[in-house]
Amino acid sequence: MKIGVLGSGAMGSGIAQVAATNGHNVVLVDTNAEAINKASGKLQKILARLVEKGKIDESTSHSIFSRIEFTTNNQQFVSCRLIIEAIVERLDVKKIVFSELENIVGNECILATNTSSLSVASIAAACDKPERVIGLHFFNPAPLMPLVEIIPAVQTSQETVKTARDLIDSWGKVTVLTKDTPGFIVNRVARPFYGEALKIYEEGIADFVTIDWAMTELGGFRMGPFTLMDFIGNDINYSVTESVFAAFYYDPRYRPSLTQKRHSEAGWHGRKTGRGYYNYSENAVKSEPSKDEVVGQEIVDRIVVMLINEAVDALFLNIATTEDLDLAMTKGVNYPKGLLSWADEIGLNVVLKRLEALQDLYGDDRYRPSPLMKRMVKSGAKFFN
């Protein structure tokens, strides 16, 4: 199967590399000639580095690169059987692009979007054959991150779902099936990792470095929330939070933070700008965390119960299966445990008590426990036996 990828940024180039590594001829298109040349040079460097590390040999490197056609001409998509769009996260732009793609490709070609939170149904609605449109959400960097969220729109045919999932599975990826709702699994369930950490900071309970210390050293997370937001970019993370908040009709659970908004407005986007929650300039001195384990454990417990509640509610609303929800968070964002498994380990009754205490203290609907959690505590049920 010939694969097309639209957009030669980090995500699009990564997806093209994955497809070519798995033996497919790939057409990588970007309307910007400078961007497509840059992508070609960057991929050559990545492959050379893989050869240096002994991950692949010279012959394999040459084969992978030779299977990718770098072009600014989207008419080269004509013989592709699957096209994955990885361009700017704007619904209006994506709808125009998908309508144009449909006039280039054959009737059997699947059209996929790599959107991280936009409505796949809205994108599909721009097409005459919406049943062939699907969401395939890869995680950055695509060659290294195992997870791909498979997102059928309400219009997507079962044949399209099966063909797309079988293909991505054959690439050695871990696929999870998720309903077409804002943020899908990962970007929805992970919101409290950032939002609750920001709230804890705003209340003066702990500073950035102490919260990060607690979540990594005591919680077992690979990165603390502020280090991760600086890595992602505060502009990107804040815009995703805003879009998820609006898409959920301003549910207080997804309320953005003024602290993040101010950092974004100041241009303190994180590592890429040299300043975010931390200062990345050459002579910057990073402050030390306050290693109070009692306070640290309270921080971990508060953020983890919020994450668990989000995962439980996603299950309650049939966003994904129990297994897929846990897989998504361990394989997509490297959480130390699946959140539903973690809930079983802590005890759902304990999680519920902590949430109810927070809701009682703040009187804020962001802490409302999922009805499924209440139901399961009442019956003594677990997610896994």
Q: How many whole angstroms separate alpha carbon 144 and alpha carbon 233?
A: 20
User: Quick check: 156 pLDDT over 90?
Assistant: yes
Annotation says 318 is catalytic: no
Contact indicator for 188, 245 with CB cutoff of 8 Å: no
User: Quick check: 236 pLDDT over 90?
Assistant: no
Contacts of 363 (CB under 8 A, 6+ apart): none
Q: Pairing mode, if any, of strands 82-85 and 3-6? A: parallel
Reported pTM? 0.94
Structure tokens at 215: 């979540």
User: pLDDT of 127-146, one tens digit each?
Assistant: 999 999 999 999 989 999 99
Q: How confident is the model at residue 86 (pLDDT cuts 50, 70, 90)?
A: very high
Q: How confident is the model at residue 286 (pLDDT cuts 50, 70, 90)?
A: confident
DSSP 4-67: EEE--SHHHHHHHHHHHHTT--EEEE-S-HHHHHHHHHHHHHHHHHHHHTTSS-HHHHHHHHHT
pLDDT for res 144: 94
Q: What is the mean pLDDT of residues 86-112?
A: 96
How many other C-beta atoms are found inside a 10 Å radius of the C-beta of residue 137? 24
Q: How many whole angstroms separate alpha carbon 91 and alpha carbon 89?
A: 7
3-state helix, strand, coil in the chain (%, to 5): 55, 10, 35
Catalytic residue among 74, 116, 119, 243: 116
Annotation says 149 is catalytic: yes
Residue 381 or residue 236, greater confidence: 381
User: Quick check: 327 pLDDT over 90?
Assistant: yes
Helix axes 371-379, 293-316, angle to 10 degrees: 100
User: Quick check: 385 pLDDT over 90?
Assistant: no
DSSP 8-state secondary structure symbol assigned to residue 270: B
Helix axes 293-316, 191-202, angle to 10 degrees: 140
Catalytic residue among 102, 149, 196, 310: 149
Percent of the chain residues past pLDDT 70, beyond the cut: 100
Catalytic residue among 24, 102, 114, 137: 137
User: pLDDT of 16-27, one tens digit each?
Assistant: 999 999 999 999
Annotation says 345 is catalytic: no
Catalytic residue among 8, 114, 117, 187: 187
The CA distances from residue 330 to 121, 174, 185, 227, in Å, are 27, 11, 12, 18
- Minimal CA–CA distance to 47: which of 35, 59, 36? 59
Helix axes 33-52, 10-21, angle to 10 degrees: 50
Q: What is the mean pLDDT of residues 219-233?
A: 95
Q: Given phi > 0 = left and psi -120 to 50 = alpha, else beta, which region is 119?
A: beta
Q: How many whole angstroms separate alpha carbon 208 and alpha carbon 225?
A: 9
Q: How many whole angstroms separate alpha carbon 227 and alpha carbon 279?
A: 11
The structural domains of the chain, ordered by start, are 3-177 (3.40.50.720), 187-385 (1.10.1040.50)
Report the chain's C-alpha Rg in angstroms: 22
Annotation says 187 is catalytic: yes
